[in-house]
Amino acid sequence: MPPDSRAGAGLPIIEEVRIMIDGVVIKSLRVIPDDRGYLMEVLRDDDEIFAGFGQVYVTSCYPGIVKAWHAHQRQVDNICCLQGVAKLGLFDGREDSPTGGQTQSIILGHLNPVLVQIPPLVWHGFTPVSSETILMLNIPTQHYVYDDPDELRREPFDPDIPFQWHTRGG
């Protein structure tokens, strides 16, 4: 579909929303179904938020598991849930940020098809919110350097990060 027809359909091509964590951007993804299946564009090199390309990878996470916390010093992550429903956790650990010390939770997947762009030094991770394994797509701006990774890590339940991975109550 040509770019001008997407805009003419009355649906936003990109929706940038200023959210709790400074520098995090959410891009609404348009799912285009037909009788054969569907197509969903995730990130294009002409998107306003495109910040470069390093590699593309998919990672899975089993129910009951939390894959967290990690951050990067230089790399920007562009994360999307391809299968299942995920809870993405964010923690702004930047001392000079106006949202330093704040956390944010975003539900993403087929119920909320979005791409979340995460700037450097914002800690993040994810967990399934149902009994289904999730598949997460990441399009980072830099490729992984095996002998010198741009990767900072913390434990998923680090008491210094005020984030609740699992919902209590009903």
Q: What is the pLDDT of residues 116-125, one digit of tens each?
A: 999 999 999 9
3 Cβ contact partners less than 8 Å away, ≥ 6 residues apart: 13, 46
> Stretch 135-145: mean pLDDT, rounded?
97
| Cα–Cα distance measured from residue 47 to residue 44, given in angstroms and rounded to the nearest whole number | 5
Task: Report the topology of domain 3-153.
Answer: Jelly Rolls (2.60.120)
Count of C-beta atoms within a 10 Å radius of residue 114: 21
Name the CA radius of gyration of the chain, rounded: 16
> Stretch 142-155: mean pLDDT, rounded?
96
pLDDT of residue 2: 38
Q: How distant, in Å, are the alpha carbons of 6, 32, 33, 39, 135 from that of 36? A: 20, 11, 8, 10, 22
pLDDT of residue 170: 58
> Can you read off the two tokens belonging to residue 119?
């700037």
Q: Where are the domains of the chain?
A: 3-153
| Cα–Cα distance measured from residue 134 to residue 129, given in angstroms and rounded to the nearest whole number | 9
pLDDT of residue 14: 43
Q: Specify the pTM.
A: 0.86
How does pLDDT run across 75-109, given as a tens digit for each residue? Answer: 999 999 999 999 999 999 999 999 999 999 999 99
